[in-house]
Amino acid sequence: MSLKPSDFVHLHVHSDYSLLDGMAKVSRLASRAKECGQTALALTDHGTVSGAMAFYKECKKNEIKPILGCEIYLSRGPMRERRKGYNHLTVLAKNQRGWENLRRISSLANLEGFYYRPRVDFETLAANSEGLVVLSGCLKGPVPVLLQQDKFEEARAEAGRFREVFGEDFYLEVQPNSLAEQAVVNDGCLRIMNDLSIRAVATCDLHYIDPADAPAQEVRICIKSGKTLSDKNRLKMKDDFFFRSSEQMIDAFRHCPDVITASRDIAACVEDYDLLPGNRNEYYLPRFQTPDGSDPEAYFDRMCEQGLRERYGEPTAAQRERLEYEKGVIRKLGFTTYFLIVADFIAWARANGCPVGPGRGSAAGSIVAYCLRITDIDPLRYDLLFERFLNPSRVSMPDIDVDFCEANRGRVIEYVRKKYGEENVCQIVTFGTLKPKAVVKDVGRVLEIPYGTVDKISKLIPEGPKLKSLEQAFAESPELAALRDDPAYRKLFDYALRLEGINRHEGKHAAGVVISDIDLLERIPLTQVKGDKTTQFTMTEVEEAGLLKMDFLGLRTLTLIEEALRLLRKRGVELDMSSLPLDDAETFAMLSRGDSRGVFQLESSGFRKLLKKAKPDRFEDIIALIALYRPGPLGSGMDEQYINRKHGREPVTYLTDLLAPILDETYGCILYQEQVMRIANQIAGLSMSDADNLRKAMGKKKIDLMNKYKPMFIEGFVAKGVDAKIAEEVWSQIAFFAEYGFNKSHSAAYGLVTYQTAYLKAHHPAEFMAATLTSWISDTDKILEYAAEIERMGLTLRPPNINESDVTFDVRDGEIVYGLGAIKGLGEGAARAIVETRESLEGKAFRSLFHFAEEVDSKVLNRTACEALIKAGAFDALGFRRSQLAAALETALQMGVQAQKDKLSNQVSLFADLSAQNEDLDGIERDLLPDIPEWRDADLLSYEKEALGFYLTRHPLDAHREALARFASHEIGKLSEEKNKGEVTVGGLVAAVRHHLTKKGQQMAFVTLEDFTGACDAVVFPSVYAEVRELLVPESVVFVQGKVDTEREPPSVLVDKVLPLERAEGNLRVSVSAELIVEETTEAMIRELREVLLRNRGADTFYYTFTRARDQARTPLFRVGSHLRVAGTERLREELLAVLGPSARVRIGARL
């Protein structure tokens, strides 16, 4: 019999969705089948059909018939029993009914039968057998296992059991691998075939594409199982589970060609599946029950009308026209139910104390969304476009992502679950892949390359979303490329390149929720991730399957705003964020100073600089600056153009006056995608749908589509009386800027949240900063950062106090009180118990440590928690030394436990008895404390830092604050804002030194350096180590010069030089600046000033500025030429003040 390549079909195939041992990408599987002349291909991943949709689309793209399947785990008994032991079985869907049964089996195995593996029992398989083809499986199949145990009759009977259920759709599976056990199984299967007339079929059980991938697949298994290659107990596979060509398979079974043609015959009976209803705009939206039982369409109309009048009063013709137009489009596309569902859960959230954002993305461009209170920004006022959100010519499910208060997001999801049914709602799976850095680290661990070496190599891989592959990294990093050729790292990179991009693990989408019209088991395959029911399909695949996907996003800033409002309500201030004046002068003055730390979206140093330059004075400026602060616009100089035009330093010009109404708000700059659409619609005459299509084509550089629209665009301009050359210029200009254009709807909606936080900071700084600290309560670095901002703002942060502090940060008498929940080692539960107990006391205060131990539940308060409170200073207000409290703690806890036992048994405790006898409890408790001296200052500070994560009341560097400010070019907390490899000088306390020997036996060190803003690692390489080792002494104060490595998190400094504090002056470069008052400056003063500079020659630069006293107008800094450099010392400062006057502004420092 002469067989062709198309006579064989791979029916047992694993992709990288087999997360333990599969490494073939579905795209490569499909293309390889085509290369081999095969016409069909199956996918049978272990216990999952997660890859089905991606596989289906790749097969269709390659003109290969897809066969959906799964290698299931068959339990040896009821699947719900937690009993070890299972067999493998290959199951294929031969039609749509088979696919529905297969995904149901996979779902039940994951949701109900999971015990080590997602298992299903024979009864469940039999009950869902329609449309399925079953193969007897690999060596772990139920029939093969018995054959290997030399139990032929039992194997024969087992095969007969499957034959009874599946009839001619049950096949015995033979494979060509070289395992000795496989030869036994193959012989046994062929015997059963002859005995029972059950056909046998050849499969390959492939796990990777090429034979050369076998070692990398071993590494893949080690990555998933947490093993190393040298581990003798790791899971191993033979090296012949690759994608065999048809010729190789035919040759392997030359003695029984029927097993080859059986694969072809199985494929021939497979019908196409209906996997992508969403792609033809068929959706399974949940049924929306209106509150009054009315028809959803009528209810939609009624709610839109009601919202229109609530938002605008008596609507104008323009408002009415826009609403009716949008309603018509929404109704035509069949999305009224979608809008009602979204409006409903948002309304529930607002009514139940779950703050909701004003909108995000393009949905803010819809007046229907505004009227239904889905969004809170007026699309007409800000000229936001509906077609940017929902294009009538490009039918797809609307995408309304909703921001909820982070702390309450889960409550909204729970409401949706209850409303639409637990079985109809679940979360969505995600797959983490082996990206360039991750794959190098994972492979390095498996190969047991030292962590430090792998870490160093991974840092050579460039950062950022534009990096797509290791090959790209080699091209961009010559140092990395050189290592690739190093024999020591050849295996590392070979395996990494083969494994790069494959699925590593599954996770749960942070925000995605799917809502179905019926039980999700009937719609898509399900699994569970960390105990939560999730889809097996990803976010986009869920939509393609025709299901409603919603993003329930948690936005920390909403939680922060709500917390600030709660603190304001405590002191009787009610603030309605929806009715804030959007032209508040104080808010814009604060932003114009760049005072935006803590303000949503505006915190970075780069944005603060932009604010100082732009000096925003209207809400539209905030919208524009958010759109401008991105690499594209900044790189093109658009920010400078906008700012210069805003402040009259550059004329506002238009290529044609027709552009003025559209570009006027942005001073002639094209910032927004909506402006591109307006130009195309209002001037070029394109429909809004076509205008949106053009916007998208320009943004993505789709040349063919751009060429289709260009003649229409030019003709439209010419018809309006614009010269064709001008029209060409406009086309070129918008084609250039469209690449950088931002969605104005999103910028406006998020700009509103930005403004709200700025308003709170400007008008209620204590409450705002307390809320900010609470929102980062578990992040010590952030608390330190904002504590520094609080100090800069002139506010007070009081230390924790058991008689004053709340669980979170609070405000009392205008001062911020440290939250107990932020103390390390205490925990939220214990903090809450302390506050609740205190508030239940008659005097709402603890009188002593003993009273505290007696009253607070001993089950939640252990020794570690109490020690943390003492070290943090939370008992200081009681008037005792911390050393005394620590010494008496064990006694206090024992007495407290006994007192609580006495209460439970209705006995009177010692202190209660004494109190009843009017004894002096304060005196008695004072006597129980040992009279010992307080801890040393260094210990007090060290313990405080241990408990809080930073120094709060005092800092070891307090005495050196001025020197650090003068000579350090950067604060440690701001190193992340510096460009990578930038030169820096940082100063601080040597907190720790870790000496280290390199592979070559050379000494180096890792130094932890701390200043007032944070800590960083200073890496001292062998070339520098010998020179500076004497200075690397814990608790010493030094300055470090070197290059910042911002690719690490947190950043580190690669040290070139170390200087002790006392040698900084004269050795570290600084700049000197002096302010001269115009009205007071005389020729004689200028001459004296020159003499001072000449007497203090050095290597530092001198700057000066003129200020006019009457209006404080100031010139830029002028730099004196290099011929007159100075030595920036205290002596120079004193001499300058002697000339300019004692109140003159003279600054000396690395940062001016």
Q: Is 65 in the same domain as 176?
A: yes
Structural domain ending residue among the three candidates 925, 948, 971: 948
pLDDT, tens only, 846-895: 989 999 999 999 888 889 999 999 999 999 999 999 999 999 999 999 99
Amino acid sitting at position 101: N
Q: Is 1075 in the same domain as 1059?
A: no
pTM of the complete model: 0.85
Report the distance separating Cα 1015 and Cα 827, nearest Å: 24
In a domain, 1132, yes or no: yes
Query: Pick from 573, 563, 451, 626: which is nearest to 996 by CA?
Result: 451
Phi first, then psi: what are they for 637, rounded to 5°?
A: 80, 10
Q: Is 865 in the same domain as 988?
A: no
Helix (H, G, I), strand (E, B) or coil at 434: coil
Specify the higher pLDDT residue, 899 or 101. Answer: 101
Q: Is 794 in the same domain as 940?
A: yes
In a domain, 664, yes or no: yes
In a domain, 1106, yes or no: yes
User: Is the distance from CB of 1149 to CB of 1071 less than 8 angstroms?
Assistant: yes
pLDDT, tens only, 704-756: 888 899 999 999 999 999 999 999 999 998 888 877 889 999 999 999 999 99
Contacts of 385 (CB under 8 A, 6+ apart): 365, 379, 674, 677, 678, 688, 692, 745
Q: Which helix (H) or strand (E) holds 642?
A: helix 638-646
Q: Which domain holds residue 1085?
A: 1071-1149
pLDDT, tens only, 1114-1132: 788 888 887 888 888 888 8
pLDDT, tens only, 385-403: 999 899 887 667 888 989 9
Q: Is 80 in the same domain as 201?
A: yes
Contacts of 766 (CB under 8 A, 6+ apart): 795, 811, 814, 815, 816
Helical H segments across 37-82, by residue range: 52-61
Q: Is 141 in the same domain as 263?
A: yes
Contacts of 327 (CB under 8 A, 6+ apart): 300, 301, 304, 368
Q: Is 69 in the same domain as 185?
A: yes
In a domain, 388, yes or no: yes
Query: Pick from 769, 835, 753: which is nearest to 802 by CA?
Result: 835
Q: How far apart are the first and last CA of the chain?
A: 88
Contacts of 856 (CB under 8 A, 6+ apart): 833, 834, 837, 896
Length of the chain: 1152
Q: Is 154 in the same domain as 288?
A: no
Q: Is 687 in the same domain as 800?
A: no
In a domain, 629, yes or no: no
Structural domain count, the chain: 6
Contacts of 472 (CB under 8 A, 6+ apart): none
Phi first, then psi: what are they for 594, rounded to 5°?
A: 75, 20
Structural domain ending residue among the three candidates 948, 970, 1000: 948
Q: Is 924 in the same domain as 997?
A: no
Q: For residue 782, how many C-alpha atoms fall within 13 Å in the half-sphere facing its CB?
A: 15
Report the distance separating Cα 505 and Cα 429, nearest Å: 10
Q: Is 200 in the same domain as 289?
A: no
Cis peptide before 1050 (omega within 30 of 0): yes
CATH of the domain at 1018: 2.40.50.140
Report the distance separating Cα 835 and Cα 840, nearest Å: 9
pLDDT, tens only, 420-467: 999 999 999 999 999 999 999 999 999 998 888 888 888 888 877 677
Q: Is 984 in the same domain as 1020?
A: yes
- Which class for 233: exposed (0-12), middle (13-18), buried (19 or more C-beta within 10 A)? exposed
pLDDT at 1150: 72
Please say if the pLDDT value at position 1025 is more than 70. Answer: yes
In a domain, 440, yes or no: no
Report the distance separating Cα 335 and Cα 399, nearest Å: 11
Report the distance separating Cα 802 and Cα 206, nearest Å: 64
pLDDT, tens only, 918-971: 455 666 777 788 889 999 988 999 899 999 988 898 888 888 988 888 888 888
Structural domain ending residue among the three candidates 1031, 1063, 1095: 1063
Report the distance separating Cα 777 and Cα 772, nearest Å: 9
Chain CA centroid to CA 703, Å: 33
In a domain, 423, yes or no: no
Query: Pick from 1109, 1009, 1036, 1126: which is nearest to 1073 by CA?
Result: 1126
Q: What is the CA radius of gyration of the chain?
A: 36
pLDDT, tens only, 208-230: 999 999 999 999 999 988 899 88
Q: What is the DSSP letter of 208?
A: B
In a domain, 967, yes or no: yes
